[in-house]
Each structure stands twice: as C-alpha cells, then as structure tokens.
Structure 1
Amino acid sequence: MNWLVVVAGVAVAVTFAPYLAFGVVYALKRPSGSPAAKEPAEPNVSIVLPTYNESGIVEKKLDDVMALDYPMEKVELVVVDSSDDETREIVREYFADREHPELNLIEEDERRGLAPALNDAYAAAKYEMVVKTDCDSLLPEDVLREAAANLADPEVAAVTGTNVEVLGGSDVETGYRGVQSHIQTLESHLDSTFIFHGPFSAFENDAITPIDPNSLADDTELALRIRRRGADHRVVFDPAVQYMEASHSAFRKRRTQKDRRGMGLIRLLAQHRDALGGYGNYGRVVLPFNWWFMVVSPWLVMLDVVLVAAAVGVAVQPLAGVGVLAALGAFVLLGSRELLGPLSPLYSLFDTQVSLFRASIELLRGKGDGTWEVDEELREAFDN
C-alpha cells in the first residue's frame, strides 16, 4: 500500500476520532433539556442592552422588551450607548411617559468597544439577575421566567439559550445552530457549556466579573470566568431559553461574521489555557473538546483535504485527485448558495472549520480588535 494513502488514512482517522467519541457519549447519555433543577422564580432583573447607531431598530427592540411576560416593576433596563445618531434620544423619548421598567441610560461619548461598554453596564446593574441581549434579536414572552428557573438552582450561576429562528433566512446558519444545540446540551449535562450567546444570556449579578476590554467573545468570556469561580457556578445551556437572531444569508457576509466570532473564541481559549484539566468535567472534557474543534481540527481538516486528494491521485491516477478537489469545490459552491437541502448541516460544519482556520491565520497576523461594526443588512433582516 502506498505510504501516502496510509498517511492520509491516519490523518483523517485522527481528525475525526474525537467527534466519534463525542457521538458515542451523546448516544449513551441521551441528554435533553436543561441540567438545572429548575424552579419557578421571579427575581428582580436588570436587562443590559448595548447600542451603537441603532436608531432604525431600537424602538422595535424596546417593544420586544416591553412585551415580555414579566412584572415590569421588577425590571430595570440598562442601555449603554456610544452612538453618534439619534439612538439615545429615541430611548429617552420611548420611556418619557413610562414608569416601568426603570431606565438607566449610560451615555458614552467615546466609542471604546463592546467589552468596556458591557463592563460599565454590568457594574451599573443593581438587580440579582442580569440579562444581556442584543438590539438585533427578538425574545419570546417567557424567556425571563425560563432563565430565572435555571438560576434558581444553587449550582447554576449563568444560562444561555438557543436560536429558534435565523432572521434573514440562512439555511446553513440554521443547520449549524441545530448541531451546536446538541453539543451544548451534552456539555451542560456533563458540567457546563463553553459558548454563550449575545442575543440572550442571563447571569447571577454577584457572579459577574469584569472581562478583557479587548474581548471578541464577551458573553462566552464572562461565562468562562464565572465557571472558574467554583463548582457551584455552573454555566448551562437550556433549549427552553429561546431567541431569534439576525444572520447573513449572503456567503461573503456570513463568512466575515463567522470569522470574527471564531477569532474571539480561539483567542479566549488561548488566554484561559490554564483552565484545561481543572474545574471538573468542564476542564477535563468540555474545554478540550472545544480546543480540538476550534484550534486543532481546522488545521487538520485543511491538511486532510490535501492528503486525500494527493493519495487518490497517486493510488488511482492524477485526474482522480483533481476530481476529489473538484467534488469538494462543487460541495462548497452549492452549500454557499444554500442549495444542499438536507446536507446543509454537514456543509455548515465544514464551513465553520474553514472560518476557524481563517480566524487562526488572522490572529497569527495580529488582527482583531474589540469594536463591532454596524451592519445595515442585519438591521434590515431584523426589521422585516
């Protein structure tokens, strides 16, 4: 047997062995729902809403908050705004004749980035449950009650949820979110999940700690820091905690969005590499799996593509190797155009590995800062 075929086979086996192990654990454990001992609860809530030039959508978001099934006299809204448009004026006018919820508008004259803005907002939040949500997301009526029920468990200090509808209509993104939900459910039942989601996450106020001002993964970083406080600070995923988030359907726009998210998560894992091996199954299983998926596997997948094509070309004939690359190219082309139907989740995983590979290269080049850009296409998807 040609040595190149052996090398390619070994490389592919090594790449996918952790995923096979994950699948076996999932099949054995069959996790579902939240791992928390949920109890009905109605704590006072501080809702944190960061804004930057959201004048076209902020009123719709405020309507969304007001429609929540929760006593508004027990809610404060902490808006931290660094806009140079009319966003803060719209917020003030919206609450001018409303007694509840109480508005705390933090006006920042200098745009410093999302993480510093969130640090200010979290420090100003006065109630025991703190919720972070984004302006271009929508929430179901029961989301605060579902989150509060999770935080009623004394071992749970933070909870995030799942995107039940991708505003903007990306089948690829929808497919990936479905796979991600299964991963996060298992992680939470093993101990805690790694990724937290900006459209909706909830935290115990006394567990919150400042995050890196240059963070590109602010919600996940806060959850990670909370979990590092001890075994009674689990950070979990509950599929009953739901939201809707705008996402790109256009390939290039989606790529930019995913690359940036990947950069933030990879950098966060590197910054907290000392957590590997500690903190129960979080450091022994969850973090190593995410290291493999986000840091190691993308490089191996790219290597696998080259090795498999070369091995087929040597073992069969050169044109066969070219055919492998052509088939992969067709798969990517069809996937990027949302034409793979039921195969979209498979493409979404490959697409994510490509984004993580690109993100790794950008980080090695020293790219990435803590500011976020206004995207008019996402605003339109949210507003429709």
Structure 2
Amino acid sequence: MTHIAWFICWSSAALLAHVFIGYPLLVWMQARLRPLPVARRAILPTVSIVMAVHDGERFIRAKLASLRQLDYPAELIDIVIACDGCHDTTVTTARRSTDPRVTVLDFPNRRGKAACLNDAVALTRGEVLLFTDVRQKLSPVALKELVANLGDPTVGAVGGELHMENVRSGFAQGVDFYWRYEKGIRHAESLSGSTIGVSGALYAIRRSLFQPLPAGTVLDDVLVPMRVAAQGKRVVFEPKAMAWDQPSQLPEEERRRKIRTLAGNYQLIQLAPWLLAPWRNPLWFRFVSHKLLRLFAPWLILALTVSTGLLFTRHPMYALAFGGLIGGLLLVALARLQPPLGRLLPLRIAVAFFYLNLFAAQALLAFARNRRLHLW
C-alpha cells in the first residue's frame, strides 16, 4: 500500500509540476533561445466577418458599432451574423442596421454555434475569415493587426488578445491573474512555433484553410487552429489585436460558461481523435501538455492530497505537502466566509485556482451526462 501511495504521490506531483511550471518554462525558453519571428506585411485582402449569436440583444448594437469603427477599407469587408434560435430582439436589431455590408441569417430553432458558423461562412466572399463573438468590443486596429500576420505565407491563423475590464471582485481579479498567465503561455507558444487554440472573441484564418465544423462543435477556437496546424501552417498570437470583455464577478456566474467550455475539450477528442496521434498532430506534445493534462489537474490534485495524507507519517516532506494542500482549501474557505479578505493576492489566486479546477472536474461529469453541449 505504501509503495502504491508513493507512486501516486510522485507521479501526480510530477505531472502537476509539468502542467503549471515545466511546460510554460519550456516554451518560454524555446521562444527566447530559438524564436520563429513572423514576417508581418501590411496587406489588405478582402475579409468576411462571421459571428454566431444566441439572444444577444444586450450586445448587438455595441458590437455592430465596434465593427463599423474598424480601421480597414469598408469596401473590402462583408459581415454575416447568424442568429441561432434567438427569442429576443437580436434579429430585428441587427436587421435595422444601416450598414449595407451586414447580412443576417435567422434560424428560429437552435442548431448550435458550429452549424451557424458553417452556414454563415458559405455565404461569405472574403479571402480571410474573421471570427468574433457578440459580447466583446474590438480595438479599431484589430483587423489590420491580425491580417498583417497573414502576410507571412507560413501563417494560417492568428488570434487576438482578450482583455478583461471592470474587474471588481476578488474572484474576478483571481481569474484575470490566471488569464494573464494563460496569455503568457500562448505568447511563448506563438514565438516558438504555434499556439494551441485562440480566443473565440477574435481570430482570423485564411479562407482556403477553413473546413466545415462537425455538428455540435463547442470549441471552434481550438479545432479550427489545430486543423490549420495539421495542414502545415502556423497559428500565432497577436497582442496588438485586442478585444475587451467583462469577467464574471462571482464563481456562480462563471460556473455554467466554464463547465461548458471545459467539457468541450472532451467533446473535441470525441470529434477529432487524430489530435491524440503524434504522427498526425504536429502539435501533439503542446496539445497534451497545454490542454489534456489541464483537464486531469483536479484529479491529480485529489490523488496528491490522498497519497500525501497516507504518507503523512513517513517523512516530514509528505506532511508539509499535505498541510500545504489542506491550507489552500482553508484559504478558499476563509475567502468565502470573509469576502473582503478575498481581495488579498494569495487568497484571490487560491480561490480562482480552486474554482477553475472544480469546474474542470464538473466538466467531465457534465459531458458524460449531456452530449448536447452545442446548444449554448
């Protein structure tokens, strides 16, 4: 029993160290020692902006205004908005737009984002497809900055940078901290080759590389770039192309969205099993390190807690590790009981880490219970 606990303890610790420290450090070193710069060029291809929306009446006016303010020749842009089972005023508001470039597709019954994107893309004419979501406003230079990366023939897709604004609560500040950590990894991946995924809020792809999405796909912002990489092109990150979003202020507000997104990773393996094959996926190591092992992190933490508890009396090192894990849980409980303390840096990081991993664990159960994740 002791030998099993020892193996579980050290293997869990090694994998967790690789996920959160080792892999980020490795890609950072690759970016520093063997950078692969992008040969950006100021090009102006035709661009089709594609957006799928479900009940977006709160955001659609501001989004259309944001698209009109893009610093890009208007005659080179067309916009297709696919409304997926909207029961609010999204469709009528979008159709009232005076922008002649806007085409609105109204699907009365919910079909899922992937089906809407496929139909919207079929109506477009641009050499470049720009995908964005309805909630986020875009910087005026976002499109030009993205397209400049496609001036490099080795680049097939490019993602923008998502910024959080109105970060008020301790939980939101903690999530913002981890999002900055995630963006740092993406930046290093980009500088050393290709990123694993892009932000669905803002990314562009060469039209010639786009393949229709499987029905029900949740994570188009992972599957699309992985397909681009499989076709031999780079997927890069452009921090000058910015989008702004509002974070959830409380865990309860974040739970549903995060569980759906995380469960989408399990669905991704189901839809594209080739991602697990090193001989077919050129970004296999990065995909496993950045995506798959992150999904297993809550179970690895649980295994580490149980195994160090069983080894508690064997060595002070195990007692220290067990105490640290339990101490982390107590910090989360303290932050929940005393919200003002949740703004302290150690507590807000602990709270965000706890909930993001809790949601990852719940995502597996959610996917096992409900495969119809695509219905928003």
Match of 1:56 in 2: 58
Alignment partner, residue 197 of structure 1: 199
Match of 2:133 in 1: 134
Contact 1:164 1:243 in 2 (8 A): yes
Q: Is the 8 A contact 1:179 1:345 kept in 2?
A: no
Which AA in structure 2 matches 1:252? E
Q: Counterparts of 1:321 and 1:224 in 2: how far apart (Å)?
A: 37
Cα drift, residue 93 of structure 1 = 1.6
C-alpha displacement of 1:143: 0.2
Cα-to-partner distance string for 1:157-204 (whole Å, 9 max, x where unaligned): 111122122455421221111111122122223432222212111111
How far residue 320 of structure 1 moved from its aligned partner, in angstroms, is 9.2
Aligned residue in 2 for 1:161: 160
Take 2:360 and 2:225, find their aligned partners in 1: how far apart are those partners? 21
Which of 349, 356, 376 is the matching residue for 1:352? 356
Partners in 1 of 2:278 and 2:173 — Cα distance?
36
**Partners of 2:187 and 2:222 in 1: CA distance:** 16
Deviation at 1:368, TM superposition (A): 4.4
**1:142, distance to aligned residue in structure 2 (A):** 0.6
Greater alpha carbon shift after TM alignment, 121-130 vs 290-299 = 290-299
Distance in 2, matches of 1:335 and 1:242, equals 32
| 1:333 aligned residue | 333
CA distance in 2, matches of 1:281, 1:347: 35
Give 1:28-107 correspondences, 5 Å limit: 28-31=29-32, 35-82=37-84, 83-95=86-98, 98-99=99-100, 102-107=101-106
Is 2:138–2:244's contact at 8 Å kept on the other side of the alignment?
Answer: yes
CA distance in 2, matches of 1:29, 1:222: 24
In the TM superposition, what is the alpha-carbon distance from 1:13 to its structure 2 partner?
3.1
User: What's the CA shift string for 1:235-260, capped at 9, x where partnerless?
Assistant: 22222222112321111221222111
Matched, 1:240 2:240: yes
- Asked whether the 8 Å contact 2:24–2:185 carries over to 1, the reply is no
CA contact (8 A) 1:226 1:235 kept: yes
Identical positions, percent: 22
Q: 1:201 to 1:81 in 2, by over 3 A?
A: same
Q: CA–CA distance in 2 between the matches of 1:263 and 1:167?
A: 27
Seen in structure 2, the aligned counterparts of structure 1 residues 305 and 270 have a Cα distance that, compared at 3 Å, is farther
The amino acid across from 1:277 in the alignment is P
How far, CA to CA, are the matches of 2:291 and 2:222 in structure 1?
14
SS in 2 for 1:50: strand
Larger deviation, residues 207-216 vs 266-275 = 266-275
Equivalent residue letter for 2:104: L
Q: Secondary structure at the match of 2:91?
A: helix
**Secondary structure in structure 2 of the residue aligned to 1:214:** coil
> Structure 1 residues 118 and 291, CA, compared in 2 at 3 Å: closer, same or farther?
same
Moved more, 348-357 or 301-310: 348-357
Deviation for aligned residue 1:278: 3.2
Correspondence for 1:220 among 222, 227, 251: 222
SS in 2 for 1:182: helix
**Alpha-carbon offset, residue 326 of structure 1:** 4.7
> Aligned equivalents of 1:328 and 1:346: distance in 2?
6
Q: 1:112 to 1:307 in 2, by over 3 A?
A: same
Question: 3-state SS of the aligned residue for 2:312?
Answer: helix
One-letter identity of the residue aligned with 1:249: Q
Q: RMSD of the alignment, in Å?
A: 2.9
Gaps of 5+ in 2: none
Matches within 5 A, 1:2-17: 6-7=6-7, 9-17=9-17
Three-state SS of the structure 1 residue aligned to 2:79 is strand
Name the CA shift for 1:88/1:224 in 2 (closer, same or farther; >3 Å): same
Post-superposition shift, 1:135? 1.0
The alpha-carbon distance between structure 1 residues 333 and 160, as it changes in their structure 2 partners (threshold 3 A), is farther
Within 5 A, what are the aligned runs for 1:169-318? 169=168, 170-228=172-230, 230-231=231-232, 233-275=233-275, 276-278=277-279, 281-283=282-284, 285-312=285-312
Deviation at 1:270, TM superposition (A): 4.5
- How many equivalent pairs are there? 362
Q: Please give the residue correspondences for 1:363-374 in structure 2 after superposition, counting only pairs within 5 Å.
A: 363-372=367-376
The two structures have a TM-score, normalised by structure 1, of 0.84
**Would you say the 8 A contact 1:266–1:294 is kept in 2?**
no
CA distance in 2, matches of 1:196, 1:250: 25
SS at match of 2:103: strand
Once the two structures are overlaid, the 10-residue window that deviates more, 183-192 or 274-283, is 274-283
Under a length normalisation based on structure 2, what TM-score does the superposition of the two structures give? Answer: 0.85
AA partner of residue 16 (structure 1): L
Q: Is contact 2:13–2:304 with CA below 8 Å preserved after alignment?
A: no
Change (3 A) 1:302 1:315: same
- Does the 8 A contact of 1:47 with 1:130 survive in 2? yes
**Partners of 1:309 and 1:325 within 8 A in 2:** no
What SS class does the counterpart of residue 223 from structure 1 fall into?
helix
Q: CA deviation at 1:291?
A: 4.6
For the 8 Å contact 1:166–1:173, the answer to whether it is kept is: no
Deviations 1:124-143 (A, max 9, x none): 11111111111110111110
The amino acid that maps onto 1:269 is I
